[in-house]
Each structure stands twice: as structure tokens, then as C-alpha cells.
Amino acid sequence: MPLSAASSKSLKRPILDESVQYLTCGVGDETFAIQVAQVREVLDLCPFNRIPNLPPFVRGMIDVRGEAVPVIDLRIKFGMAPAEITDSTRIMVLEVVVGAKSLVIGALTDRVFEVTALDSNAVAPPPDIGSRWRSEIIRGIGRCRGRFVIVLNLNKMFAMEDLMSTGE
């Protein structure tokens, strides 16, 4: 017996919790969304302390209120060429859970836009093919102000082996 449109809608789980707020940021021409609950703060660009033998996407360390925080260049992490630093460049200080550990990581981004809610009914699962990004790091794809927004799964994006790699 076929399901009616009303009953099939009730079986469809939303990709996102509509009560969650997201911080949107830009990397290259792409717009990303990160759950506000994982964002500690957004900083203006500050000098990095370079550490030898880190993976190429780790730009260095910064001091955030006495805590050493590694800074990941999102452009390099996503396989893009490094960008010129501009007045819009920001560091998002994020909390991620990797395995059983909670880590604080800085993410270098080209620009930060706003905090917004995304309509869970308008967010689709990531496509299986044709996606420029690894689908396991994407929670969904939605729209904000007429643009596609890629909702990131930070806990999967920053895998422990990535952070522990020596870059060799």
C-alpha cells in the first residue's frame, strides 16, 4: 500500500534542528555554517607562532587568553590555494570533539558573515556525487539569503589523525 504525501512527510527526519543557530563564514566563493554552540569567539587576525613538522593546513599557534590554540587554514584544509590575508580575514575559535577529547581549534577563514537560523525543512543531505567536499564532513546543504550554505560537521572535519599528522 503506497504512503500518502502527508504520511511520507512525517517519516522524513529533518537534517538540522531548527532551533539551532549557525555562524556563517566564507572560504573562497563558498559559504559555510557552523553551529554557534561550537564557536567560542571570532578574532581579528593575529600573529601565528610557527611550529615545525605540522601538517601544511596548520598555520601555527596563537595565544587565546593563556591557552595555546592551533590555527587551521580552512582554504588549505579544503584543498584550495592559500589566500592573501585581507581586512576581512578572521580566526574562529571553535570547540570540537574528536573521539573522547574536546579540543579548541582556531579556523582561519576569509570572512565571517552573521549568526542565523537555517530552516531545517530547506536543508538537504549532501549529494553523493559531484560534491567538491568530502560528504562525511557535511551535515547538509541549505540556503541563506539566496546562496547555498554548506553546514559543516566539525567533529568529523577535524579528525584526530589530521591533527596528529606530522606533515611528512
In a domain, 152, yes or no: yes
In a domain, 2, yes or no: no
In a domain, 7, yes or no: no
In a domain, 5, yes or no: no
CATH number for 114: 2.40.50.180
Provide the pLDDT confidence category of residue 126 given band limits of 50, 70 and 90.
Answer: confident
Please count the structural domains in the chain: 1
Q: How far apart are CA 43 and CA 15, in angstroms?
A: 29
In a domain, 3, yes or no: no
In a domain, 82, yes or no: yes
The mean pLDDT value of the chain amounts to 81
Is pLDDT above 50 for 7?
A: no
- Report which of 51, 92, 78, 61 is spatially closest to residue 157, judged by C-alpha positions: 78
Query: What range does the domain containing 94 cover?
Result: 13-164
Q: What is the pTM of this model?
A: 0.79
Q: Taking CA 28 as the corner, what is the angle to CA 57 and CA 35, rounded to the nearest 5 degrees?
A: 75
- The arithmetic mean of pLDDT across residues 79-98, rounded, is 92
Provide the pLDDT confidence category of residue 157 given band limits of 50, 70 and 90.
Answer: confident
Q: Which tens digit of pLDDT belongs to each residue from 10-21?
A: 444 445 555 578
In a domain, 22, yes or no: yes
- The arithmetic mean of pLDDT across residues 46-69, rounded, is 92
